[in-house]
Amino acid sequence: MAEARRDRSAIPIACAGAVNGPAPTQGDKRPKPAVLVGAVDRRAFLAGAAALAAGCGRDQPRPLFSSDTHPDGYPTVEAVKEMARLLRARTGGRLDVKIFAGGQLGSERDTLEIATFGGLDMNRVNLAPLNSIEPLTTIPSLPFLFRSTAHMRRALDGAPGEAILAALEPHGLIGLCFYDSGERSFYNTKRPIHTPQDMRGMKIRVQNSDLYVAMVRALGADATPMSLGEVYQSLVQGVIDGAENNWPSYESGRHYEAAPYYSLTRHVMAPEILVMSKARWEKLSAPDREAVRGAARESVPFMRALWDRRVEESRARLLAEGVKANEVDDLAPFVERMRPVWSRFVVTDAQKRLVRMIEEMADDA
Ligand code: GTR
């Protein structure tokens, strides 16, 4: 965060297509060590953008710069590529998106802050780092809220989703669409988890969100917030004992190599979100805004199909690699301990309304 703050004054609105930012490594499915690479690339990105911003002609086409913590090939990155394809088709190639994948521009929290101030055009993040910015984003992150994937999709495609996207605008962000992130479960280096007692005293990495800290503490474990790019090393070095994520991220970050016990608690189904900086949005004409929003929304079914396939592929591959996955026969003790965090994080009337709306929705999509 401190780094993002320092950089802020130097961050221009990204402009023109010729910024020589670092190209995502094609075909490299492994995440880059975001902490090390990110710092260097971010400087290069900002320096390049600053140099070009000065000489950028008004009608010169300029791609929207978009960040993603995941590497090329991951469903979220492929979804934004699809969005870019639709956008190009709709605007005769005038509008395009350049994706900086693999956490090249920094952690989700840092890049969100940069987007908020207009230094980055678009960002694909999980809802977690938005929890401290907008309370409504906390709702889909609540443990054991969604009853099924269909229920989650229905809520996000409907009025609750619209309310969350709209709530971001006062924070300098335009919510474009939600992408799937599946079910998150705990994994660790030590043993299978069947009951909360199995997690006692374990150091569990969480995303930068007070809600996630509270969830893990409620289970009797120690919560350690850190960015995704730091998790692999921290597991290897024993700084943490475990973390929680969906199958594709557990695979893609190679966390399974160090933490082979994956226990299917399925405690959270918080989605991903694609946001745009309001500063950049306001520079678009009304038809261009429509094209951007339309392309983002139309990339959602594409992403979901990709996601469903990827979850199955990741699961099958990791089981074949020897990951020790276990079902949790009795989830009740997890629900009992984690559910009380709702009352701490659902405090405003708008949040309560949203919870009610989601709970009353049917499961079928
Ligand atoms: C992934 C998600 C990322 C990030 C990551 C994490 O599932 O796609 O956006 O939130 O989890 O745990 O940091």
Topology (CATH level 3) of domain 184-270+314-346: D-Maltodextrin-Binding Protein; domain 2 (3.40.190)
Burial of 6 (0-12, 13-18, 19+ CB in 10 A): exposed
CB of 249 closer than 6 A to ligand 1?
yes
Under the banding of pLDDT at 50, 70 and 90, the label for residue 363 is confident
Pocket flag, ligand 1, residue 183 (CB < 6 Å): no
Q: What SS3 class is residue 173?
A: strand
User: By three-state DSSP, how is residue 34 classified?
Assistant: helix
**Is any atom of ligand 1 closer than 6 Å to the C-beta of 128?**
yes
Question: C-alpha distances in angstroms, 251 versus 28, 189, 211, 310, 324?
Answer: 14, 15, 24, 10, 13
CA atoms within 13 A on the CB side of 353: 10
77 CA distance to ligand 1 middle (Å)? 12
Atom 3 (ligand 1): residue with closest C-alpha? 126
Q: Which atom of ligand 1 is nearest to the CA of 246?
A: 7
- Percentage of the chain with pLDDT > 70? 83
Structure tokens at 241: 């004992």
Cα 283 off chain centre by: 25
Report whether pLDDT(204) > 90: yes
Task: Tell me the two tokens of residue 140.
Answer: 């889909």
189 CB within 6 A, ligand 1:
no
Decide: 205 and 224 in contact? Cβ < 8 Å. yes
Fold of 8-135+163-180+271-310: D-Maltodextrin-Binding Protein; domain 2 (3.40.190)
The residue type found at 222 is: D
| HSE-up of residue 251 (Cα within 13 Å, Cβ side) | 21
pLDDT of residue 50: 40
pTM above 0.75, yes or no: yes
The domain locations on the chain are: 8-135+163-180+271-310, 184-270+314-346
314 touches ligand 1 (CB under 6 Å): no
> Which of 69, 131, 230, 256 gets mutated to test ligand 1 (max ligand atoms within 8 A of its CB)?
69
The string of pLDDT tens digits covering residues 264-319 is 999 999 999 999 999 999 999 999 999 999 999 999 999 999 999 999 999 999 99
In the block, tokens 């520079």 appear at 283
Q: In angstroms, what is the span from residue 226 Cα to ligand 1's centroid?
A: 11
Quickly list H helices, the chain. 2-7, 34-54, 75-90, 108-116, 149-157, 159-167, 210-218, 231-236, 247-252, 255-258, 278-281, 286-320, 332-338, 341-345, 349-360
pLDDT tens by residue, 124-177: 999 999 999 999 999 999 999 999 999 999 999 999 999 999 999 999 999 999
Q: Which of 66, 74, 126, 247 to mutate to test the pocket of ligand 1 (most atoms within 8 A of CB)?
A: 126
Strands 242-245 and 184-188, by their bridges, are antiparallel
List residues bridging with 174 in a β-sheet: 276
Question: How would residue 60 be classed by pLDDT, with cut points 50, 70 and 90?
Answer: low
| Ligand 1 atom nearest 129 alpha carbon | 10
Residue 79's nearest CA partner among 272, 270, 254, 222 is 272
Ligand 1 proximity of 149 Cβ (cutoff 6 Å): no
Cα 249 to ligand 1 centre (Å): 7
Q: Which two tokens stand for residue 218?
A: 């409620």
For the record, the structure tokens of 349 come out as 């009337």
CA distance 270 to 293: 21
125 lines ligand 1 (CB under 6 A): yes
Alpha-carbon span 99 to 24, nearest angstrom: 8
- pLDDT reported for residue 45: 54
User: Which amino acid is located at 148 in the chain?
Assistant: S
**Nearest C-alpha to atom 10 of ligand 1 is from which residue?**
126
Look at the chain and count its residues: 365
